[in-house]
Amino acid sequence: MIHAQSGLHEQDEHDRLQILDADGNVHPHATVPDLSDEEMLAMYEALVLARQFDQRAISLQRQGRIATYAPMTGQEGSQVATSYALDEQDWLFPTYRDHAAKHVHGRSLSSLLAPLRGHREGYAIPDDVNVMPEYIPIATQIPQAMGMAWGYKLQEQNDRAVLCHFGDGATSEGDFHEGINFAGVFDVPAVFVCNNNQWAISTPRERQTKSETLASKADAYGVDSIRVDGLDPLAVYQATRAAIRKAKDPGPGESRPTLIESIQYRFGAHTTSDDPSVYRPEDEPEYYRKRDPVDRLRGYLESEDILTDERQAAIDSRVEDRIEAAIDEAESLEADPDDIFNHVYDEMSDRLKTQRDELRELREKYGDDAFSEVLE
Ligand X SMILES: Cc1ncc(C[n+]2csc(CCOP(=O)(O)OP(=O)(O)O)c2C)c(N)n1
Which 195-214 positions form the footprint of another protein (CB under 8 A)? 200-203, 207-209
Task: Calculate the CA dihedral of residues 268, 273, 277, 283 and round it to 10 degrees.
Answer: 0
For Mg ion, the binding residues in 179-208 under the rule CB under 5 A are 197, 200
Give the x-and-dash track for 263-282 against ligand X (CB under 6 A): ---x---x------------
Pick the closest to residue 180 from 149, 137, 210 (CA basis): 149
Residue list 138-167, contact with another protein (CB under 8 A): 138, 140, 142-152, 154-155, 162
User: Minimum distance from CB of 199 to another protein (Å)?
Assistant: 10
Q: Which stretch binds another protein (CB under 8 A): 42-50, 296-304, 315-323, 350-358?
A: 350-358
> How many degrees, rounded to 5, is the angle at CA 188 between CA 187 and CA 193?
110
- Residue span 173-192 as binding mask against another protein, x where in contact by CB under 8 A, dash where not: xxx-xxx-xx--xx------
Give the nearer residue to another protein in terms of CB position, either 27 or 207. 207
Rounded to whole angstroms, how far apart are CA atoms 191 and 215?
12
The interface partner of residue 373, options being another protein, its own copies, ligand X, none and the CB cut-off 5 to 8 Å by kind, is another protein
Contact present, 165 and 130 (Cβ < 8 Å): no
Q: Which one of another protein, its own copies, ligand X, none interacts with residue 306, CB within 5 to 8 A by kind? A: none
138 is an interface residue for ligand X by CB under 6 A: yes
**Which listed residue (16, 97, 241, 291) binds ligand X by CB under 6 A?**
97
Residues in contact with its own copies by CB under 8 A are: 172-178, 181, 184-185, 187, 207-212, 216-217, 219-223, 255
How far, in whole angstroms, is CA 285 from its chain's centroid? 20
